[in-house]
A = this chain, B = another copy of it.
């Protein structure tokens, strides 16, 4: 792990650490003196940087989206910290831990994936089991499944976020099927495991989280319906109607046309899965808003995803223990 992070910089400190180059520009001072202006960042934030001397080589070799190693001093300019760069060079791949540059889950990704494989293994229907285990064991998919965020900004917007979300949904699926005997657990688990598989390629998350061109033009629903269709076609004897049901679960999971589902849920499992997915996503968005500093003791930051702020309940009810200790 790199040190220090942008959020930890102190005035007058001398540092040597790695950054992602967010912007690069050659400029002149008012007096006409040229300098190299950079914006440098890591997962904790960004900072302005200037290099006044011997920057010609750097200006040539270094580009936006490069990782660099920087030796610099932290100064305050117009009441904001700024780096005066003494030396800068391209970082070597092996020097960089991508986790320093993209926010990521606090959970253990390996364990989460093992849990997911267990859920898949518990699917009883032989075709669905072969489908989900086949996809999860495809190395091309597994690698990305462990890294992908669930979204750019809405919820679980960090590396491993998708996996975290899916494992949570598998757990909810089991609970829902136990509570409502009319629901088929296998379909719920299949929906949970596959419903966002299109996000592996809809999003790009190498150095920052964004959308691929294909992701913009097609969206994860259309992308995953193809991936999963191919996988089903490759399984001999997979019943045609079951294929239709699986595809329906995928394409209806947003629940409403205006959220990009071309069909409304018309199977009970599709209806229930939509609610579980929505619940887990929205609760994650509330959690994220509450985790941010808001400047108000009793309220979270404003959640754009939910269009509101959330109450910090423990603060509002701080005068007494909501749940008595012996009941916890």
Contacts and interface: CB of A to CB of B under 8 A. Distances in A.
Interface stretch (A99-107, A141-149, A154-162, A314-322): A314-322
A309 interface: yes
Interface stretch (A14-22, A89-97, A131-139, A260-268): A260-268
A263 B125 contact: no
B222 A266 contact: no
A185 to B, nearest CB: 8
A6 interface: no
Nearest to A250: B222
Interface string A61-76: 0000000000000011
A236 interface: no
Copy total for this chain = 6
Contacts of A319: 239, 241
B125 A322 contact: yes
A214 interface: yes
Given A185-B323, A241-B317, 12 more contacts: A184-B313, A216-B299, A217-B245, A217-B248, A219-B263, A245-B317, A266-B308, A266-B309, A268-B287, A272-B283, A275-B275, A275-B279
Nearest to A240: B214
30 contacts: A11-B28, A29-B76, A30-B77, A124-B328, A125-B322, A125-B324, A175-B176, A187-B322, A217-B247, A218-B244, A218-B248, A218-B263, A219-B251, A219-B263, A222-B225, A226-B229, A239-B320, A242-B320, A245-B313, A245-B317, A251-B262, A257-B257, A264-B308, A266-B308, A266-B309, A266-B310, A267-B311, A268-B283, A268-B290, A268-B313
Contacts of A257: 257-260
A283 B180 contact: yes
A271 B187 CA distance: 26
Contacts of A231: none
Q: Which of A168, A244, A248, A308 has the most CB of B within 10 A?
A: A244
Interface in A179-233: 179-180, 182, 184-187, 213-214, 216-219, 221-222, 225-226, 229
A278 interface: yes
A13 interface: no
Given A222-B262, A257-B258, A266-B217, A75 B316 contact: no
